[in-house]
Amino acid sequence: MTVTQAAENRTSGSSAEPAHIVQFYEEEEFLYSRVADFVMAGISAGEPAVVIATPQHCEGFRTLLEPRASLDGVQFLDARETLSTFMVGDMPDSRRFHESVGAVIARNAAGGRNVRAYGEMVDLLWRDGKPEAAVRLEELWNELATRYSFSLLCSYPIGNFYRETDRRLFEEVCGRHSVVIPTETYVTAADDEARRREFSALQQRAEALETEIAHRKELERALRDAQHVNAFLLEASNALNRSLDYESRLREIVNLAVPRLGDSCAVDIAREDAKAPAPEIRGGTSMVVPMSLPDRFVGTLTLTASEPRYSPEDLALAVEFARRAAVALENARLYHLAQEGNRTKDEFLATLSHELRTPLTAILGWARMLTLGGLDPQTQRTAFETIERSARTQATLIDDLLDLSRVVTGKLTLQTELVDLASIIANAVATQRLAAEAKGISINVQTSDERAVVTGDPTRLQQIVWNLLSNAIKFSDTGATVTIELERDADRGRILVRDEGRGISPEFLPHVFEPFRQADGASTRRHGGLGLGLAIVKYLTELHGGTVSASSRGEGRGSTFMIALPLALRRNVEADAPVRDEIVDLRGTSVMLVDDDAPTRDLVVAMLRRCGADVCAADSVLAAREMLSVRTPHVIVTDIAMPGHDGFALLEHVRSRADAIPVVALTASAPAGDGSEFAAWVRKPIDPFQFARVIATLQQRA
């Protein structure tokens, strides 16, 4: 009889000699058959049997045994539950093992009978990553065999030992058994037990080697794939960065994606409010991936194949390609915006030059004519009116530029108080009434019976309404009607300005509040201006916590602008009565003027003397300090920006004196800080009546 036959006789039960047998296997079906034969041999010999296996294996063994014999003498135990009775931490406990498993064997071995036992607990420990515990359990079985007569069959899948590093533990497992049976694929050999053990070891090593080879091949394949992926992504990055033209980049994305990522590719650019979808594979024949940036969703790529081919790896590559495509498209978009900004800037500078030179031409021309003389009284009046009107136009343009600069830099501050919107509308209509009547345009004012009071800067609020009303009149035809309405609800007041003029095209409507943008930017345009008015309206409205919107049914069909402002908590406000233009009496008031610009100095001196003031003038701070040493004026008026020493230096000198002389600042820009250093600020160009009122007010306070 060969050694192999002897081992098989022991597992099948033809030998009654107790043994500790290990069976290695590859397929579950072989295990079921081998264990069923082992248990059936015990039943045939009248030996009780104990099967400790997983529930699935127990059921498989029952299925094979029940047609062959009664199972009254067979005890089935759950391997995992039995393990839990004697495991302490990660290792089996000897005492608990003998109390648990040993008690089961003892009961079945009563009367000196030999017991058949099959166990899978060692395999479970191995699969749990506890090979040392599995070896220790094999030793406990051997200790139990010194007390009771039983034959034990253990089993391990040969796949448990797939690594070369498992060789030592494999040899230890074999060393704990008296019989080692190779897997079902071994060839019968007429040799001794040692030969069979060596054969099992060779099987383990072969399995480990094959696994290692397969693993290395997989790594090599993955490396090649990674190299191909990196080469593709590098090519894509280079190609997408060759041009900053948006349309060219869209075409390049499709050219790169086909055929590497699919048989066809569609690029969909997202709307501003769209949300990025999750990357997904649809039916194996298409992939949808978002083109996203950290702060913006650009669009989606849809890749399709003629037959199912897409895998998770393909999806990951498509996601990275889409990310790079998003960066390329965003760069192209930003470049286009920069180019558009440059074009708009050039158009604005051309418009600015034209708008500033036009009133300057009238001013210089009429000034030259007045200098030459010989004009009749009517022509002189026309000259004076034209010069004043042109100067005011030029001042308005400069004010718009300064206002925009202050808003953008965050330096525009509001002098807030409670303001009745009805009075704001009334004042704005009063200032525009003459311009409307000149074009035969009627202004229809509709206000609510209930007051709408807001907290705001009355000057800036009037600027908002004035701009909207001025635009409505400018772009309306002769004989048209401009309507301005005041509405209110629980917490907001709304001002609506409607006109029947040229309207706004749907293409330009989203850009109507952008600075420097004009619907008609050509040199042949009919209406002047810098394109800043509506941008300033938007900024000022938002500074007041409100919103502004525009609507139009299209060109030639008029437009509507709506301002919504939060109402103030207090409603009891008395609106200031509009101040009339009249000459203020400054007789008895002495004024010292300090300004390095001779024309401005001459104008202010003439203005104040026209009101009866006693005026002395200095062209520098040093000259003013000498004058102060011999006379004390009621009010000092000083320019801010002067060579050598500025207006702040003069203010500091005045404060060092014992007498408290109010100092008025003349400036072409916004007040520095909160403006509290000076008694008042007057912005150039100077309004004579307003300036005289400031002097009179300070004199009264003094």
Please give the full DSSP string across 391-440, using - where no structure is assigned: HHHHHHHHHHHHHHHHHHHT------EEEEHHHHHHHHHHHHHHHHHHTT
How far, in Å, CA of 583 to CA of 600, rounded? 20
pLDDT at 92 over 90: yes
pLDDT at 579 over 60: no
Band the pLDDT of 53: cuts 50, 70, 90: very high
Enter the tokens of residue 101: 């498993």
Band the pLDDT of 7: cuts 50, 70, 90: very low
Question: Between the ranges 96-110, 358-372, 376-390, where is the mean pLDDT highest?
Answer: 96-110
- Structure confidence by residue, pLDDT tens digits, 536-556: 788 888 888 899 898 888 888
pLDDT at 403 over 90: no
Residue at 442: amino acid letter: S
Top-confidence residue, 51 or 186: 51
On whether the CB atoms of residues 590 and 634 are closer than 8 A, the answer is yes
On whether the CB atoms of residues 678 and 646 are closer than 8 A, the answer is no
CB atoms within 10 A of CB 577: 7
Band the pLDDT of 617: cuts 50, 70, 90: very high
pLDDT at 525 over 50: no
Collapsed DSSP state (helix, strand, coil) of residue 248: helix
What CATH number was assigned to the domain covering residues 3-212? 3.40.50
pLDDT (average), residues 437-462: 84
Band the pLDDT of 331: cuts 50, 70, 90: confident
pLDDT, residue 80, reads: 94
pLDDT, residue 575, reads: 40
On whether the CB atoms of residues 473 and 482 are closer than 8 A, the answer is yes
pLDDT, residue 518, reads: 59
pLDDT (average), residues 112-137: 92
pLDDT, residue 3, reads: 35
Residues 6+ apart with CB under 8 A from 277: 288, 290, 300
Enter the tokens of residue 313: 């790896």
Band the pLDDT of 186: cuts 50, 70, 90: low
The domain 590-701 having CATH identifier 3.30.720.210: the answer here is no
pLDDT, residue 528, reads: 46
Band the pLDDT of 358: cuts 50, 70, 90: low
pLDDT at 2 over 60: no
pLDDT (average), residues 501-517: 78
> On the CB side of 571, how many CA atoms lie within 13 Å of its CA?
9
pLDDT (average), residues 589-612: 88
Enter the DSSP assignment of 567.
Answer: B
For all residues of the chain together, what is the average pLDDT? 82
What CATH number was assigned to the domain covering residues 238-339? 3.30.450.40
pLDDT at 13 over 90: no
Band the pLDDT of 337: cuts 50, 70, 90: confident
pLDDT at 6 over 50: no
Top-confidence residue, 434 or 246: 246
pLDDT at 195 over 70: no
Top-confidence residue, 448 or 45: 45
In CATH, the architecture of 413-566 is: 2-Layer Sandwich (3.30)
pLDDT at 673 over 60: no
Task: List the chain domain ranges.
Answer: 3-212, 238-339, 356-407, 413-566, 590-701
Band the pLDDT of 63: cuts 50, 70, 90: very high
How far, in Å, CA of 254 to CA of 262, rounded? 10
pLDDT (average), residues 429-437: 79
pLDDT, residue 554, reads: 83
Band the pLDDT of 508: cuts 50, 70, 90: confident
pLDDT at 4 over 60: no
Q: What percent of the chain has pLDDT over 90?
A: 22
On whether the CB atoms of residues 183 and 34 are closer than 8 A, the answer is no
Band the pLDDT of 211: cuts 50, 70, 90: confident
pLDDT at 344 over 70: no
3-212 matches 590-701 in fold: yes
pLDDT at 109 over 50: yes
Band the pLDDT of 352: cuts 50, 70, 90: low
pLDDT at 284 over 90: no
On whether the CB atoms of residues 454 and 607 are closer than 8 A, the answer is no
Please, what's the largest Cα pairwise distance for the chain?
Answer: 151
* Residues 143-171 as b or e (16 or more Cβ within 10 Å = b): ebbeebebbbbbbbbbebbbeeebeebbe
pLDDT (average), residues 242-254: 83
